[in-house]
C-alpha cells in the first residue's frame, strides 16, 4: 500500500507547536500525529522554515 504524501503549510506547524486557538487546531494536530506515526509522509517547503522562524522570533518572551 502506498503512503500518502502531504505538503504541510507553515501554519499547521505553528498551530501544533503553539497550541494556539484556531479553527484548524484539531486538524493541525491530527496531521502532525499522522506524520509522527509514519501514516503519511509530510514535507514542508523550504520557505516555510523562514516563516516559522519569523513568527517565533516575534513572540513575546513570556509566551516562549
The predicted-structure confidence for 20-50, as pLDDT tens digits, reads as follows 888 999 999 999 999 999 999 999 999 999 9
CA torsion sign, 4 to 13 to 45 to 37?
A: negative
DSSP per-residue codes, 32-45: HHHHHTTSEEEE--
- Residue 21, pLDDT score: 84
pTM of the model: 0.79
* Domain spans in the chain, listed from the N-terminal domain onward: 4-63
Confidence of residue 58 (pLDDT cuts 50, 70, 90): confident
The predicted-structure confidence for 2-23, as pLDDT tens digits, reads as follows 779 999 999 999 999 988 888 9
| Mean predicted confidence (pLDDT) in 53-57 | 92
Amino acid at each position: 500500500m502506498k503512503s500518502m504524501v502531504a505538503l504541510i503549510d507553515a501554519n499547521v506547524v505553528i498551530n501544533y507547536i503553539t497550541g494556539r486557538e484556531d479553527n484548524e487546531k484539531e486538524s493541525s494536530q491530527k496531521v502532525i500525529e499522522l506524520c509522527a506515526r509514519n501514516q503519511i509522509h509530510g514535507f514542508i517547503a523550504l520557505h516555510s522554515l523562514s516563516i516559522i522562524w519569523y513568527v517565533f522570533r516575534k513572540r513575546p518572551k513570556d509566551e516562549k
